[in-house]
């Protein structure tokens, strides 16, 4: 049996990632003719055309679409294995790490995280980007180093994950709001005017399902895309917001927070990154710093 040329995996990864023979050639620093010959070998080896013409462009075949994630992961892991495992001098390290996360995470953990980084690696800079969706393209193409979020079945399977902390939802209203006094029953809660947080414009969530099981329905008067906006509206109105307790601890200063009168599931917030950075010493160091900062914040919250 002929041993397959494993170098073809690198070529296949480039072709599938770029969706263009010309762009794949530039990525691998090959001439167009050399790239065409490599593609011909790939087609012969896989028994599939991989890319077929559609109008003026090329589209992947079903086989190519099936292979894309597996090949990307194989190449990333191979590169990590072959990368020299040198240590890193944090005092002289100069690098910008990009973290895609929520505003609440930055508000809650950002100050301690930046202080810790400044002490250990003064040349390191963090770039925080908002997280409007769950698209993992930035992690895959290397433009984003980390992302925080809840790991779901739809999360890209090749991503590495690390649990940071557990969180749960609480209600929040302005100081002096009627719900700031007395026992909050499900009926009192449902009778108020509510803010719903949804990045995709959904019109109900798990709170509505829990109330419905009790024969209750709340009035949602506005839908917003983020928890910081919800907290801001609750601060200056009689609207009721439902937000993650840990994520919004600093945002809720001066407001009245309360346990929800209906059950909701707690959830784990994790750190996600692509396998290409698994063995990177600086990346590994920063992952540890983030884990430590979140753990220390959890301990403070419990002791408080």
Whole-model pTM over 0.75: no
- For residues 174 and 257, membership in a common domain is answered with yes
- For residues 182 and 204, membership in a common domain is answered with yes
Strands 219-224 and 169-173: unpaired
Predicted confidence (pLDDT) at residue 62 exceeds the cutoff of 70:
yes
- For residues 191 and 111, membership in a common domain is answered with no
* CATH code (residue 53): 1.10.10.10
* CATH code (residue 126): 3.40.190.10
**The two structure tokens encoding residue 108:** 């809650």
Q: What is the mean pLDDT of the chain?
A: 89
Least confident stretch, 79-93, 103-117, 191-205, 244-258:
79-93
- For residues 190 and 250, membership in a common domain is answered with yes
If we measure between CA atoms, which residue out of 70, 50, 53 comes closest to residue 61? 50
Is residue 72 classed as helix, strand or coil in its secondary structure? helix
- What is the C-alpha separation between 134 and 149, in angstroms, rounded? 8
- For residues 180 and 112, membership in a common domain is answered with no
If we measure between CA atoms, which residue out of 270, 8, 276 comes closest to residue 141? 276
Is residue 59 assigned to a domain? yes
The pLDDT tens digits of the residues spanning 215-255 come to 999 999 999 988 989 999 999 999 999 999 988 888 899 99
Is residue 285 assigned to a domain? yes
Is residue 245 assigned to a domain? yes
Strands 95-101 and 146-149: parallel
Strands 124-130 and 95-101: parallel
* C-alpha dihedral sign at 134, 142, 99, 229: negative
- For residues 77 and 11, membership in a common domain is answered with yes
What percent of the chain has a predicted confidence (pLDDT) above 90?
51
Is residue 87 assigned to a domain? no
- For residues 242 and 218, membership in a common domain is answered with yes
Within a 10 A sphere around the Cβ of 7, how many other Cβ atoms? 10
Is residue 164 assigned to a domain? no
The pLDDT tens digits of the residues spanning 133-189 come to 777 888 988 889 999 999 988 888 889 999 999 999 999 999 999 999 999 999 999
- What is the C-alpha separation between 217 and 18, in angstroms, rounded? 49
Is residue 111 assigned to a domain? yes
Q: CB burial class (10 A; 0-12, 13-18, 19+) of residue 277?
A: buried
For residue 147, what are the domain limits?
95-158+273-303
- For residues 76 and 22, membership in a common domain is answered with yes
Strands (E) in the chain, as ranges, are 51-54, 57-60, 95-101, 124-130, 146-149, 160-167, 169-173, 193-197, 219-224, 241-244, 256-258, 267-273
Q: At what angle do helices 7-18 and 21-28 cross, to 10 degrees?
A: 130
The backbone region for 51, taken as left when phi is positive above 0, alpha when psi lies in -120 to 50, beta otherwise, is beta
């Amino acid at each position: 049996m002929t041993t397959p040329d494993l170098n073809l995996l690198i070529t296949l990864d480039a072709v599938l990632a770029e969706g263009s023979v010309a762009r794949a050639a530039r990525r691998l620093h090959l001439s167009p003719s050399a790239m065409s010959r490599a593609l011909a070998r790939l087609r012969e080896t896989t028994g599939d055309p991989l890319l077929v013409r559609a109008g003026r462009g090329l589209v992947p075949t079903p086989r190519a679409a099936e292979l894309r994630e597996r090949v990307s992961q194989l190449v990333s892991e191979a590169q990590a294995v072959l990368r020299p495992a040198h240590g890193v001098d944090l005092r002289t390290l100069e690098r910008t790490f990009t973290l895609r996360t929520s505003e609440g995470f930055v508000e809650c953990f950002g100050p301690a995280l930046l202080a810790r980084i400044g002490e250990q690696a003064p040349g390191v800079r963090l770039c925080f980007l908002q997280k409007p969706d769950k698209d993992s393209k930035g992690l895959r193409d290397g433009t984003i180093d980390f992302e925080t979020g809840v790991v779901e079945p739809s999360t890209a399977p090749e991503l590495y994950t690390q649990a940071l902390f557990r969180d749960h939802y609480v209600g929040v209203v302005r100081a002096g709001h009627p719900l700031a006094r007395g026992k909050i029953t499900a009926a009192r809660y449902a009778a108020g005017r509510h803010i719903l947080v949804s990045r995709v414009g959904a019109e109900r969530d798990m709170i509505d399902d829990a109330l419905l099981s009790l024969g209750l329905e709340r009035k949602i008067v506005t839908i917003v895309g983020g928890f910081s906006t919800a907290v801001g509206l609750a601060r200056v109105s009689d609207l009721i917001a439902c937000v993650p307790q840990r994520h919004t601890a600093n945002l809720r200063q001066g407001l009245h927070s309360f346990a929800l009168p209906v059950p909701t599931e707690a959830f784990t917030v994790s750190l996600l990154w692509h396998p290409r950075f698994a063995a990177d010493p600086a990346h590994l160091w920063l992952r540890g710093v983030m884990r430590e900062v979140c753990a220390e914040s959890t301990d403070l919250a419990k002791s408080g």
